Amino acid sequence: MEGADEFMKYRSPLVSRYASKEMAYNFSDRKKFTTWRKLWIYLAKALGLPITDAQILEMESHELDIDFAMAAEEERKLRHDVMAHVHTFAHCCPTAAPIIHLGATSCYVGDNTDLIMLRDGFDLLLPKLARVIDRLANFAEKYADLPTLGFTHYQPAQLTTVGKRACLWLQDLAMDMRNLQRARDDLRFRGVKGTTGTQASFLQLFQGDHDKVEELDRMVTEMAGFKKAYLVTGQTYSRKVDVDCVASLASLGATVHKLCTDIRLLANLKEIEEPFEKEQIGSSAMPYKRNPMRAERCCSLARHLVALMADPLQTASVQWLERTLDDSANRRISLPESFLTADIILSTLQNITEGLVVYPKVIERHIRHELPFMATENIIMAMVKAGGNRQVLVRIFASDTLSALRVRGQL
């Protein structure tokens, strides 16, 4: 059957099932390799030298028409992805072939493209997080005055309100917004730094003119849409940058896991539910069930997002001297997956926060059941004012007799 072979291959659920088209494209091969070509064009424009307008125009005219089959065959032979794409680009740009990748190392296209993808990934996530905060803020305001049982140790405690509890979630999400924005704004460009970060190859091209090398770095950085480049690099930008980026996403994962776990607990109490579609089926065998499947999905993916934090930490810790290549395979997986996972978590959480259902009568019934016990603190304070000993009174109210009465429903 035509196309049936596609179902014989593993496909990441993050792309095939969950993440948005925009985020999937941001980490796609097409985005990656067309960005490589853009960077080669920026370099050629900024180098000046004896590079002609015709060579640059030729490169620009073939920026998007990548022969992926040819690139794959070249990589099979050369065992080098960047050189495979240099050859593929040169094949369709014979006039410009001699100057493509001039003076650059593989990390010129590799690392700079990664930084562009990280920046653009944050630009996709930040509006989604803002929408979740907005929807949840509306919910908190709507239910600001609705009393509900507070819980500590998942045991009934003092009263709070449904809106106040939502503010706990909101405060954490606001901290995540700050963290993501800060990670995004702190990103710089690797720039044009040469093979070990010394810019020696470009200094030779410019016959020892340091000012021209600095200007080259500045021009390419600006063309790529960055205001600043890292002042110091080895062959790569510091992998601590990846740590900072993934840390902000993992922290978001922790927030979402806590928030959605709360919703799952409240769904069990039948106080609050996530939206349930008209034709949705809660269980294949138990149709009466209303499983919190969206919140469960968020928790499941959030665990993966939090676990990914170990990758950049370990990668940054084992980079020898100016660089080792054991970062490459790991980063191909951990960086895209962090953003893809955060993307679907936020989309799902937006759906949840836009349709949360509250059951005030159930909440009221739970409050009434616990009111006699919640009154004990006020009773104790009144008795102390009348001359009683607080410590003795607390022991009395926490006695086995009181607990037994509570279990039997006699209080």
Cα–Cα distance measured from residue 344 to residue 257, given in angstroms and rounded to the nearest whole number? 13
| 16, 283, 399, 403: the active-site residue | 283
Paired with 148 in beta bridges are 160
SS3 of residue 95 by DSSP: coil
Helix (H, G, I), strand (E, B) or coil at 229: strand
First-last CA distance in the chain: 69
- Report the candidate in 251, 79, 94 with the shortest Cα–Cα distance to residue 181: 251
Other beta carbons within 10 angstroms of residue 324's beta carbon come to 14
For 282-315, b where at least 16 C-beta lie within 10 A, e where not — what string?
eeeeeeeeebbbbbbbbbebbeebbebbebbeeb
Question: From start to end of 212-298, where are the E strands?
Answer: 272-273
Radius of gyration of the chain (CA): 29
Give how far the C-alpha of residue 312 lies from the chain's centroid of Cα atoms, to the nearest Å. Answer: 14
Number of H helices, E strands in the chain: 18, 4
- Angle, to 10 degrees, between the axis of helix 310-317 and the axis of helix 328-354? 150
Contact 259, 322 (CB under 8 A): no
Other Cβ atoms within 10 Å of 50 Cβ, number:
7
Asked about 283 being catalytic, the answer comes back as yes
Q: Which of 335, 119, 123 is nearest to 226 (CA)?
A: 119
- Minimal CA–CA distance to 363: which of 165, 199, 181? 165
Among this protein's residues, is 153 annotated catalytic?
A: yes
Residues annotated as catalytic (active site), given as ranges: 153, 283
